[in-house]
Structure 1
């Protein structure tokens, strides 16, 4: 496994320059821009319904989730219940339940419940790559199709070996390409470093060494950085932290 951290840093810098010029104000996903703010309206309507439900019922309208479920996949809003009980006039077209490409989630459930969107296209792409990695690992004695170690204990994927060349991922925030990375166990993630670097550079947000930088993306968009690792500011760039560290 080659170590080319400097190469990764240079790539991030190039992507930041491109993204910073294309972002203005808050970061909103390309899909939302194309639909005239319909995603924004949908989140607002579901947020109001969730607040009304919690006030009247004393609970949050969420589907059951396992304790091990990642934060950005965990508390899915039960839109069907909100609709059936009259808190929501109709289920938004963006929702998976209506054939859309997003789940509505609740973050900060114990303090100030906030409705966000989880992009299912990103989830599907990462899962597709994960299946290829698992197949390769099973057929090669546990070895991984790793290319470069661009972060500590995190690697890009040799697409030719893994057979993942046809699977590409576009950022829900900027519409720009994102790469897949994997840890030493072969678990696959989307790399949101370019998006984090762009929002930090554009908005001039101060960085904190011990604060997960994914919160920047939460604050800048209605979408969550699903299938991601925690990011921290290290040597002037956002660096994801491997579970093995």
Structure 2
């Protein structure tokens, strides 16, 4: 399986960017900084105490179709009202911040993570424009190129999305939007995943979702993404079946 030239160029930039930055995740320092660290620590302690005393997790309801990185939102109001959290952090959406706090590994070892709402909003903005184009053009999509098998870059001029750019919460790099054959829009985290894989080293399980490396490397979750598998020495996003 071969990548298009644009994807190869992007992957080739990883080593250079790491050399210049000297840091795998400068985005953590710039966007998460102390506020997110402290917020996550406080909420994690509150969640642990709540689960130990109440026997359940303080999460809002979500249906089975909700993606993993959007699913188990923490009910911060409940934690606050029941005295497990003195106040809701200013970083939280509930207090005017730009993040939801989620729980991952809910059945084994619940861990608090951050969902960046700036990323979500920009994907939603692009999705809205793609939907408009599709509706106005008989179901056709504003496709520029097939970047990966079954996944496409968006012709931003046609879609009217040229002004929408997304900076990675992990690396600070500008990331691409991609879409599947139905026009569903995602973030392409290939740059960040390749950086995480290079940093981690070792063998790669061909059946393991490489987004787990991003989970381990940061407080942030790779929201609005597809699973990535290690194929021909590269991370490749997998379109919906």
Same fold flag (TM > 0.5): yes
Find the counterpart in structure 1 of residue 11 from structure 2.
13
**Does residue 38 of structure 2 align to residue 65 of structure 1?**
no
TM-score, L = length of structure 1: 0.93
Q: Deviations over 1:113-170 (max 9, x none)?
A: 1100000000000000000000000000000000111111000000111111011001
Counterpart secondary structure, 1:29: helix
What is the CA distance between 1:236 and its match in structure 2?
1.1
Counterpart Cα distance in 1 of 2:64 and 2:133: 29
**Contact 2:4–2:148 (8 Å) recurs in 1:** no
**Contact 1:107–1:114 (8 Å) recurs in 2:** yes
Match of 1:181 among 178, 181, 184: 178
Counterpart Cα distance in 1 of 2:209 and 2:32: 30
Counterpart secondary structure, 1:115: strand
Counterpart secondary structure, 1:82: helix
Find the counterpart in structure 2 of residue 46 from structure 1.
43
**Contact 1:64–1:75 (8 Å) recurs in 2:** yes
Q: Map of 1:59-208 to 2, 5 A cutoff? A: 59-208=56-205
The list of structure 1 runs, each at least 4 consecutive aligned residues, that deviate by more than 3 angstroms after superposition, is 32-36
Q: Which structure is higher in RCO with an 8 Å CA cutoff and minimum separation 6?
A: 1
Counterpart Cα distance in 2 of 1:210 and 1:224: 20
Counterpart Cα distance in 1 of 2:128 and 2:73: 24
Counterpart Cα distance in 2 of 1:111 and 1:135: 42
Counterpart Cα distance in 2 of 1:190 and 1:99: 24
Aligned-CA RMSD value: 1.6
Counterpart Cα distance in 1 of 2:61 and 2:97: 21
Counterpart Cα distance in 2 of 1:54 and 1:64: 16
TM-score, L = length of structure 2: 0.94
Counterpart Cα distance in 2 of 1:9 and 1:117: 28
Counterpart Cα distance in 2 of 1:89 and 1:18: 45
Give the number of aligned pairs. Answer: 239
**Distance change (3 Å), C-alpha of 1:157 and 1:35:** closer
In the alignment, structure 2 segments of 5+ residues that lack a partner are none
